[in-house]
Structure 1
Amino acid sequence: MGGLVNKGGENVTEYILIITIAIAFLITVLISPIVIPFLRRLKFGQSIREDGPQSHMKKTGTPTMGGVMILVSVTITTLIMTGKFGAGPSIEVYLLLMVLLGFGLLGFLDDFIKVALKRNLGLTSKQKMAGQVIISIIFYFILRHHEFPTYVQIPGTNIQWELGWGYALLIIFMLVGASNAVNLTDGLDGLLAGTAAIAFGAFGILAWYGFPNIEITIFSLAVVGSLLGFLVFNAHPAKVFMGDTGSLALGGAIAAIAILTKMEVLLVIIGGVFVLETLSVIIQVISFKTTGKRVFKMSPLHHHYELMGWSEWRVVTTFWLVGFLFAVLAVYIEVWV
């Protein structure tokens, strides 16, 4: 697997990174005033859970499926920038786009069934899981064809575990697990867009300074730029939601980056907020089924703090801060330890 790994004699400066973020940001911002009214005219509005916080009921009807804008922006920016500053997109780029768009398509189908066909549950859990697993298996076999290493390394050490065929199970677990964990985090205005931008930014830094692979960096920062552009319209009070179209795609993509950069373990740290959100749901379910009691007022975790009386903006900015601290910790471990 080659791509645009920094090679001798190739001088690629940091301004490329700024341009990447700027292009993705501008694409998202420029197409949003077109896409959002279009979604509104199609009546692709969000349905709010009746058992959720009552303060959310006023969000009913807010256009969803805005993740389409993120997918378009990331794809265009990545292809432009990798084509401009390299010998064209590499296998890594195609793999990342395959996961992004594949999981995004699953999310799109889920959203479409919910908002257009008025089936609140969208795709069944088995249908969604089957699609995620199929994409993950394809991802693995492409890596295997290119003799991708199947070890896992402990960050900050020289310890490596060779998994062999077990690496296929790890890939499936990471891609499916991350996409669902990120999906759970998409519950408040700007929450996922902000935490995901921080997480992708951390991987972008590590792919640039630590790995190093410029094309993976470009993809990561294209996601950052598109999310910052999306935040212009998704910050509280949100004018559009990304829906499963965006959240499933982002979760799959960040796991794919962790795999391609051999930072599988660091995904747990960089995606710390997503891990906490998922754990809160698991703990809540186990506790209720075994004892009949709830540990949290509501899960995922962000709803717990809402019901404690925190404003939505306070919850979101606090989670952004926690996500930033996780990202700093991961970068420190990988670069300086």
Structure 2
Amino acid sequence: MMEKVIFFTIILGFLITVLLSPVFIPFLRRLKFGQSIREEGPKSHQKKSGTPTMGGLMILLSVVVTTLVMTYKFTEPTMKTYMLLFVMLGFGLLGFLDDFIKVVMKRNLGLTSRQKLLGQIVISVIFYFVLMQNDFSTSITIPLIDKSFDLGWFYVVFIVFWLVGFSNAINLTDGLDGLVSGTSAISFGAFAVLAWSQSQFEISIFSVAIVGAVLGFLVFNAHPAKVFMGDTGSLALGGAIAAIAILTKMEILLILIGGVFVIETLSVILQVISFKSTGRRIFRMSPLHHHYELVGWSEWRVVVTFWSVGLLFAALGIYIEVWL
């Protein structure tokens, strides 16, 4: 029975996004919600200037509708269902404000880093307190060695770091057509399988709803992209995948399953440290996907390679959790 639920959840999420896109994309274009391209980015990206952004709104709408319809019809919504939606929509709202300031108010940097961080922390702390009110475990488990450590009061710091860190990690990865759409579909798909293995079907449905929504978005976001998800989508997806990892108690495994996002973030951190301490750059440009563009790879080759690496990480994560 649940196999059919998962199948129809993917289909519904996919169809909602695909059917929304032909209406929503021209609407964004008429409102002149076009992407501004950083001057310091690869020169080849300047031609993307003006491409409609904030397409993440389609993803969020699709996920909310699909999750609620499928959950109410085939199982019972739980605290975890509503907390996943809360985190996704909360981070999505921050991203929307950031995008709105960039494209409508013409302030290219959007929200200040302090404003964005404060919003992320507030959402994360609310998430933590709701979990504590429901007697949620404050321990984390290290894969492979199967050792658990109770973080106690420090767990709130861990949750904030995880939600903020991964929301920003996916945001950094969102720099090429279809890159985040594909890699996030793979990562959320892996967590859908793992949540299923734990019989946490409400989390599995939410995860699969995101898979369907981002695959539908990919139809219009693949190179050459007709729409970008913007921070509205990338921050929401990052917060959602971190929340899923926390609720399934696979927090540390997220480092592996979301390995592409982690590597992209590390490339930025290493680049900044190297340049500030030695005046030299490790990569031609960070995040890492831009480095490969500048060494001569086509955009499509970079994206497909990163998808492949993400698929390997996801498969390895499932293998470690389920079979080892």
The reply on whether 1:19 has 2:8 as its aligned counterpart is: yes
The reply on whether 1:170 has 2:142 as its aligned counterpart is: no
Match of 2:172 among 184, 190, 193: 184
> Residue deviations 1:200-244, cap 9 Å, x none?
0000000002x2200000000000000000000000000000000
CA distance in 1, matches of 2:223, 2:70: 31
Length-normalised TM-score, structure 2: 0.99
CA distance in 1, matches of 2:132, 2:253: 22
CA distance in 2, matches of 1:258, 1:77: 20
Q: Which residue of 2 aligns with 1:96?
A: 84
CA distance in 2, matches of 1:162, 1:132: 24
**Secondary structure in 1 aligned to 2:152?**
coil
The reply on whether 1:241 has 2:228 as its aligned counterpart is: yes
Q: Which residue of 2 aligns with 1:143?
A: 131
Shift of 1:159: 1.1
Match of 2:52 among 63, 73, 78: 63
CA distance in 1, matches of 2:59, 2:322: 29
Match of 1:223 among 210, 213, 218: 210
Q: Which runs of 4+ in 1 moved over 3 A?
A: none
**Secondary structure in 1 aligned to 2:140?**
strand
Structure 2 residues not aligned, in runs of 5+: none
Q: Which residue of 2 aligns with 1:294?
A: 281
> Residue deviations 1:129-152, cap 9 Å, x none?
000000000000000000000100
CA distance in 1, matches of 2:2, 2:123: 34
CA distance in 2, matches of 1:68, 1:237: 20
Structure 1 residues not aligned, in runs of 5+: 1-11
> Residue deviations 1:42-65, cap 9 Å, x none?
000000011111110100000000
Shift of 1:248: 0.2
CA distance in 1, matches of 2:54, 2:174: 12
5 Å-filtered alignment, 1:1-337, equals: 12-87=1-76, 89-209=77-197, 211-337=198-324
How many pairs are equivalent?
A: 324
Q: Percent same amino acid at aligned positions?
A: 70
**Secondary structure in 2 aligned to 1:153?**
strand
Q: Which residue of 2 aligns with 1:6?
A: none
Length-normalised TM-score, structure 1: 0.95
CA distance in 1, matches of 2:205, 2:323: 23
> Residue deviations 1:52-100, cap 9 Å, x none?
111101000000000000000000000000000113x210010000000
**Secondary structure in 1 aligned to 2:155?**
helix
CA distance in 1, matches of 2:75, 2:14: 22
**Secondary structure in 2 aligned to 1:148?**
coil
